[in-house]
Structure 1
Amino acid sequence: MTSMTVRPVPDAPLDATEPRRPERTTPRPEPRLRALDGLRLVAALMVAAYHYGGRGGEITHAWGSSPEKQFPTLHNYFAYGCLGVQIFFVISGFVICMSGWGRPLKSFFASRASRLLPAYWAAVLLVTAVFALPMVTYKALSPSDTLVNLTMLQYPLGVDRVLGVCWTLWAEVRFYALFALCVVLPGATRRRVILFCAGWTLAAAITQGARQPLLDIVFMPEYAPFFIGGVGLYLVHRDRKDVYGWGIVAVSFLIGQHYAVKELWNAADPNAFAHRTSFGIALVVALGFVAVAAIALGWLNWANWRWLTVAGALTYPFYLVHEHLGWVVVRALHIGLGLPSAETFALTVLSMLVLAWLLNRYVEKPLTPRLRAALAKMR
């Protein structure tokens, strides 16, 4: 997210019979929403808690036993951390609508590509290199699969993933493409954004009913409500009395919590690692919407500390590397050095934050502006 954004005067309501007010052509900057940066890091830490202590699988090998035994009480709460992804999607909808408003397509593409790719490439190469070390017990991918991973298209191509979290990036990329084609390319206006949200919501519902794989890939009904809800919250940020914006948010929450409960409620499985309740899942989703809404309405403008900007900058590289490299650190600290579970958990999170700072400082800061400038010059 850039440090400044614009807030044009909203264009005419959907009713074509009402007089159109001229849209402001000169951007009016507003301060960075630092609370949004803090919320990003909270969502990333939720996902980390889930990966380290809220599920079984590979992390069991890292701990030497099930995380359920390492965190007898907390593992049930850590299990809800996977919903940090849905909160990320709401934030993304808000930020992409904000950053894409008034920006030409080439600039939008350059901004998104330069934001995602440098840290992603570095994370793929770093995880591959670490997993190839003889003292690390995790298997590295083949050179061919690693090269495909650099394209960020490994998930739809069916290639093994270097980064477990890359499936969320595939969802993000599809959202960017839809928003770019439907809103950025023709030019963002309030009317066009509202129609985009309504059209995507309807298309996602039809996709769910049609059960066609191609439509599912394009319209991703299980994630669409969260992106759309974030877009609706940006409309509310521009005008808190925007009835259409609030309507988009309400419908998106109602549909989004349904998909979250449907996917994550495992009460019927007696062997499930942790039993999330349907109420708990819906509550976390609601809190995510409420948190972004509070930021959109300006209620958290008092949280304007500079360190939140740093927190926001660390979120993406932390998110990329924390899972697989976290396994290595957990095993080294807990089994190798014999540290207790709580200390291992805290030191693993801290080490991943330090690594994220290094990636931001030595990869993102020098490469992101250069890549953006190179892409912006392309004809």
Structure 2
Amino acid sequence: MSSTVASHEPLPPLTAGGAAPAEPVKRPRLHVLDGLRLLAAIGVLCWHWLGVERFPGVWHGSPAELMPLGHLIGAYSWTGVQLFFLISGFVICMSCWGRSIGDFVTSRLVRLYPAYWVAVLVTSAVLTVVPTMWGDDTHHPTPTRVLTNLTMFNMPLGVGNIDPVYWSLWAEMRFYVLFGLLLIRGLTYRRVVAFCGIWAFLATVSPSVNLPILETMVQSTYAWYFIAGIAMYLMYRFEPNAVLWALVGYCWLMAQDRMRGVIGGYEYGTRHHLSWYLTLAYVTAAFLLVLGAALGRFDRIRWKWLTVAGSLTYPLYLLHQEIGFQAITRVSRHLPPYPTFFVVLALMMVGAYLVHRLVEVPMAPWLKRKLESAFAQIRRNGETG
């Protein structure tokens, strides 16, 4: 949810040991990825607001009855998360090429934490004064739960998320750890391809070997989107070849297989059957959209407003569920369902913009300077110690 899309300068040649079949070429900024990130965020938002039937109190009735078309779209738009993970694999590989592990850690901390801290605190404040839609005390914020959530490592500690949407951040974090290990020696074409192949193999066998630590790290359900995103970036940076096409194809095949175990959880939310074929169509569309960007099919899309839209994606994702539920409950008393949806969406976009402008923009440079100074000090002390 947190990837950024970097502008492109002429790309440097590979380091020794990473010969590629073609030299990197200059590419335009991929504005379309900013737009796809926003599309993914709105997809997840539609799932929570329109697709979920578990909380009839949100709309004071059933979304399926109040908004049949909206519910049909929302019931499958949870696949926006899969689109997020595809984009993340693509963008993280793109933004890390030629950078050190310290640069990578700095960029991820600066990107992830400022907006997240604010979202945790604001959501906690809201849920402290209003009842949650979950109908039990386990989702109510307590001081220790809030403080543990601020680490972003609350899930492995067994502490529930203040807002359930944060679950995907733990999936992203594990991807960053794996990719960070690769960065220790530096990225080369061959190393990245080997990394994708090894990760794919481990994710394939993980469900059958009963090693919890292995499953935790390789994420056999979601690995396929990160790996495919990386392979698509290699197509973009260099050129497609049979190995990269095979990687993407294998990831798509494994993704459709793992959906069998995922759909049931979402059916619990919709309270009705979900079509495997429609779900596969959504996931396939996500693959094709990112692949189209990698192959230059969307290079003509250079709308500058997409950059602004992309900057709102992360805070919108962080804020939309619990706070959005509370807003819908109140606005829907005065407006019909569809106007309520768009009014609350506009309010959430304004909230996302405020978090971006008032928190991310001023805090990111300050945090980046502090972290770069710290890593520089660590390197100096390491050389003398």
Task: Judge same fold: TM > 0.5, yes or no.
Answer: yes
The alpha carbon displacement at 1:76 in A equals 2.3
Equivalenced residue count is: 365
Aligned to 1:327: 325
Aligned to 1:143: 143
Aligned in 2, Cα 1:247/1:23: closer, same or farther, shift over 3 Å? closer
Aligned in 2, Cα 1:74/1:358: closer, same or farther, shift over 3 Å? same
The alpha carbon displacement at 1:215 in A equals 1.5
Aligned to 2:291: 293
Aligned to 2:12: 8
Aligned to 1:40: 37
What percentage of aligned pairs have identical amino acids? 38
Aligned in 2, Cα 1:346/1:238: closer, same or farther, shift over 3 Å? same
1:353 paired with 2:349, answer yes
Listed one character per residue, the Cα deviations across residues 114-167 of structure 1 (whole Å, up to 9, x for unaligned) are 00000000000000111222xx23264101110000000111111121121111
1:359 and 1:210 map into 2 onto residues whose CA distance is: 44
2:349 and 2:156 map into 1 onto residues whose CA distance is: 29
Listed one character per residue, the Cα deviations across residues 177-216 of structure 1 (whole Å, up to 9, x for unaligned) are 000102x111000100000000001111121111322211
Aligned to 1:365: 361
The alpha carbon displacement at 1:9 in A equals 3.8
1:166 and 1:65 map into 2 onto residues whose CA distance is: 26
2:20 and 2:239 map into 1 onto residues whose CA distance is: 18
Aligned to 1:180: 180
Aligned in 2, Cα 1:367/1:30: closer, same or farther, shift over 3 Å? farther
Aligned to 2:207: 208
Q: Which has the higher contact order (CA 8 A, sep 6+)?
A: 2
2:51 to 32, 54, 67: 54
Native 8 Å contact 2:52 2:269 kept in 1:
no
User: Counterpart of 2:297 in 1: which secondary structure?
Assistant: coil
User: Counterpart of 1:118 in 2: which secondary structure?
Assistant: helix
Deviates more, 1:357-366 or 1:69-78: 69-78
Amino acid in the other structure paired with 1:113: L
Matches within 5 A, 1:31-110: 31-57=28-54, 59-110=55-106
What's the TM-score, normalizing by structure 1?
0.90
Structure 2: runs of 5+ lacking an equivalent: 133-138, 379-385
2:246 and 2:372 map into 1 onto residues whose CA distance is: 36
Amino acid in the other structure paired with 1:210: V
Aligned to 1:121: 117
Give structure 1 regions of 4+ aligned residues with deviation exceeding 6 angstroms.
Answer: 11-14, 21-24
1:125 and 1:275 map into 2 onto residues whose CA distance is: 36
Aligned to 1:305: 303
Native 8 Å contact 1:236 1:296 kept in 2:
yes
The alpha carbon displacement at 1:345 in A equals 0.9
The alpha carbon displacement at 1:31 in A equals 3.5
What's the TM-score, normalizing by structure 2?
0.89
The alpha carbon displacement at 1:4 in A equals 2.3
Amino acid in the other structure paired with 1:227: F
The alpha carbon displacement at 1:361 in A equals 0.4
1:10 and 1:246 map into 2 onto residues whose CA distance is: 21
Listed one character per residue, the Cα deviations across residues 43-94 of structure 1 (whole Å, up to 9, x for unaligned) are 111100000010122x422112222222234312211111000110000000
